A and B are shown apart, each in its own frame.
Chain A
Amino acid sequence: MSRNSALFLIGVAVVVALGFLMPWVLKNPFYFFAGYVVLQYVTIATGWNILGGYAGYINFGAAGFFGAGVYLSAFLFTTFGLPLPLCILAAAVFGAILGVLMGYLTLRIQGVYFAIATLGLVVVLETIVHNISALGGASGMAVYGPRPPSWSPGPSQYNFTVMLVIAAVSVALARFVEISWIGRGLRAVRASEDAAECSGVPTLRLKLLACALSGAVLAAAGAPYPFYTSFVEPVTAFSLIIGLNAIAMPLIGGTKSWAGPVLGALLLASVQQIATVTISSELNILFVGLVLIAFVAFAPGGIADLFGRRQGRARS
């Protein structure tokens, strides 16, 4: 293991440990409700970036994977009483399978056509859920979650810690993909798919792998959601906002490294959470737009790229 990797893992372990301790220090549950959403978006942005950032395939279907995770977890819990960790694991496996299936069907097309096809996935899944009465259909499904374990003071704190662990694992996975042979291959695909294919890069296999990993992370991000809201319904679970945020956050943070989506999600989701409870959401959306335009115009590589360049310049 390289020194950087060791430092990264220590950092992740420290953050997770702090997350477990925080509920006992910070008593107000509101911060855990808001923090949950921020961490959920860290996971979503990280998951999206594996395919959208590393491989350059813009996926508008993040909400489809997220919603699939939400519903699978809600169904498994209410029907079979599966514990939350197993629900998350099942959602991740389901997301991976869904990712491979979507990949097989759509990876032959590129650019804007791929984006449209992925958007279709959301509509298809939402329509399916609308028409399955076991999932509550359009009326939704009430999910009264389990009592939190004794090491957590309340349900909101427990959900927060669970989401933190999912986010930490997702970021570690994204970093592993980035620095391993998979990341090198995906970068080659993004630079020029034809050239990569000619050089012996197994492009289809790599893209399918990226789809599976991305799908697994996105679905895992949705798995604790039923326990957060205690209620799931298709319009919110498959909301376009999730898909848009999944794209906006990595673009603002930077799509080339694992740190980009994390920074973008922390920044944007925090602003959204603060704005929701301070100013009107019309202005909230305006601010998101302003920040997005500012980054596209002045820093197309995102925050991570900006930091990298400034650091590089300082060193030179």
Chain B
Amino acid sequence: MKTRREFHKLAVAAAAGLAAPAILGRKAFAQDKPIRVGASVSLTGPLASTKNGLIGYELWRDDVNAAGGLLGRKVELVIYDDQSSAANVPAIYSKLVDVDACDVLFSPYGANLSAPVMPFIKQRDLFMIGMFGLAGNDVAKHDKFFHSGPWGPNSGRDWARGFFDLAKAQGVAKIAIINADLEFSKNAAKGGAEVAKEYGMEVVFNQSYPPNTSDFSSIIRNINAADPDAIFIASYPADSTAIIRGVKEIGISDKVKLFGGAMIGPQYGALLGSLGPELNGLVNSHTFVPEPTMQTPAIKGFFDRYTPIAVKQGVEPLGFYIPPFYYVAGELAAAAIKGSNSVDPAKMAEFLHANTVDTIAGKIAFNEIGDWKERRVLMVQLRGIEGNDLEQFRSPGRQVILDPPSLKTGDLAAPYNKARTS
């Protein structure tokens, strides 16, 4: 039998639990009806490492508001945490649109979280900036969707084409492909195999591995046995580390000219710091590096403000990969609102389709389904890394741009073994 006291304790605990969301979540409503920009960000869950993008949104909002807002109205961000789960996305975006009455939407991070929202925005004819979803609009073909990421047209297949362009220039005839059995890397490997075929290269080894693989010795030995001229790897951070360490231990053929391609991890401070010189020679994709062809005062100013906030929040201190493009998303929305002098989705979309927008990441023009007209995924080679100090990655020359040619800051150092040990 429960005593009255126990029942009261339970009632208090349960009431506190139930009431807290309502109390803590109360929002102040501004009187001058700000322009509302809604987004879900993965603050928790497996994709929580992408939450540093939120700093990009917030810096943009502060800048816009400091400059007097848009159309004379302040900008307000409405952000919810999707917990890295696609299951939460439909309700969150319905809340953003139907309850919060947001004027502009930013998509969740990546293809798998963005996919659930595409039918919704198409059906409701809403304006959205996409955040890093590869080929995010290729199925829905919504005319009011624009990518902030530099994937370019036909990105499902072509985003890593730069690696194969470099391989072709090096006369690579035989290529090996390995990938983690997960969404991004599987797509990268599939696209890579198609491009390799198009360039007349023979895929001598093509294998996927389960996501939690930590020992790559047998895979590396099998690759060596297949004797390729280049190795295209699509991996996630933990396996990227394991593969680099495995190569150091087992070694790789001197014939291999290019090694890397679509490894997630070496873009982030955590992995750059932990692997340090072991990354020398790696050719890998990136979205921004502080090389002279990319380092403008605007983006330098962005990082000067980003870094102290990131350090304080304990998130990725370099922030080259994601945060600038979250700021770019804001700039695109601002350009559309200012350019069309409205928050009407059709007018905003019409403006972005017709005009080139100047952003901290350079000039951006869009095709009919909102891809950047020009792919601007970088292929960088890591070089001259000494020790594990992260600050060295803020200087030019550590992540040399090999592709695209318009941003190139150096030539490929090959073969991989030589570049690795030099």
Which residues of A does B touch, CB under 8 Å? Answer: 28-30, 33-34, 36-37, 127, 130-131, 137-140, 142, 144, 155-156, 225, 228-231, 233, 235-236, 239, 241, 267, 271, 273-285, 287-288, 290-291, 293-295, 298-299, 306, 309-310, 313
Contacts and interface: CB of A to CB of B under 8 A. Distances in A.
A127 B120 CA distance: 29
A294 B17 contact: yes
A278 B25 contact: yes
Contacts of B18: 267, 271, 287, 291
A235 B94 CA distance: 22
B94 A298 contact: no
Contacts of A274: 21-22, 25
B181 A130 contact: yes
Contact of A276 (B10, B22, B92, B112): B92
A287 B17 contact: yes
Given A279-B20, A290-B17, 12 more contacts: A29-B98, A30-B99, A33-B91, A140-B86, A155-B123, A236-B87, A271-B17, A275-B21, A278-B25, A279-B24, A285-B44, A294-B9
B29 interface: no
Contacts of A276: 80-81, 83, 88, 91-92
A95 B146 CA distance: 41
A309 B2 contact: yes
Contacts of A231: 86, 112, 115-116, 118
B187 interface: yes
B95 A233 contact: no
A281 B44 contact: yes
8 closest A-B pairs by beta carbon, nearest first, are A278-B25, A294-B13, A231-B115, A298-B10, A33-B91, A229-B116, A230-B119, A33-B94
Contacts of B62: none
B183 A139 contact: yes
A281 B43 contact: yes
B112 A295 contact: no
A284 B13 contact: no
Contact of A239 (B85, B94, B123, B210): B85
Given A298-B2, A299-B2, A279 B21 contact: yes
A255 to B, nearest CB: 17
Contact of A278 (B13, B22, B118): B22
B82 to A, nearest CB: 8
Nearest to A155: B123
Interface centre among B25, B95, B111 (most CB of A within 10 A): B95
B10 A156 contact: no
A137 B13 contact: no
B420 interface: no
A225 to B, nearest CB: 8
B14 to A, nearest CB: 6
Given A138-B186, A139-B187, A294 B119 contact: no
A140 B139 CA distance: 13
B86 A138 contact: no
B17 A139 contact: no
Interface centre among A36, A287, A313 (most CB of B within 10 A): A287
21 contacts: A28-B98, A29-B98, A33-B91, A139-B112, A139-B186, A139-B187, A140-B115, A155-B123, A225-B87, A229-B116, A230-B119, A241-B85, A271-B17, A271-B18, A274-B21, A275-B25, A294-B10, A294-B14, A294-B17, A298-B7, A306-B7
B16 interface: yes
A284 B21 contact: yes
A295 B10 CA distance: 7
Contacts of B92: 276-277
B120 to A, nearest CB: 7
B169 interface: no
Interface of B: 1-2, 6-7, 9-10, 13-14, 16-18, 20-22, 24-25, 43-44, 46, 80-81, 83, 85-92, 94-95, 97-99, 111-112, 115-116, 118-120, 123, 139, 181-183, 186-187, 210
B14 A138 contact: no
B271 to A, nearest CB: 22
A30 B14 CA distance: 26
Contacts of A277: 25, 80, 91-92, 95, 99
B116 A230 contact: yes
Contacts of A273: 91
Given A236-B86, A282-B44, A230 B10 contact: no
A4 B119 CA distance: 45
A236 to B, nearest CB: 4
Interface centre among B21, B115, B118 (most CB of A within 10 A): B21
A232 to B, nearest CB: 8
B371 to A, nearest CB: 18
A198 to B, nearest CB: 32
Nearest to B120: A230
A280 B14 contact: no
Contacts of B210: 127
Contact of A298 (B13, B87, B123): B13
Contact of B99 (A28, A298, A306): A28
B24 A33 contact: no
Interface centre among A137, A273, A275, A277 (most CB of B within 10 A): A277
Nearest to A37: B91
B206 to A, nearest CB: 14
Interface centre among B22, B44, B90 (most CB of A within 10 A): B90
Given A278-B22, A281-B81, A291 B116 contact: no
Contact of B24 (A267, A283, A299): A283
B11 to A, nearest CB: 9
A131 B209 CA distance: 11
A287 B22 CA distance: 12
A294 B20 CA distance: 15
Given A239-B87, A271-B17, A281-B81, A313 B181 contact: no
Contact of B186 (A137, A225, A287): A137
Contacts of A236: 85-87, 112
A280 B81 contact: yes
Nearest to A288: B17
Given A33-B94, A142-B115, A284-B21, A233 B86 contact: yes
B89 A229 contact: yes
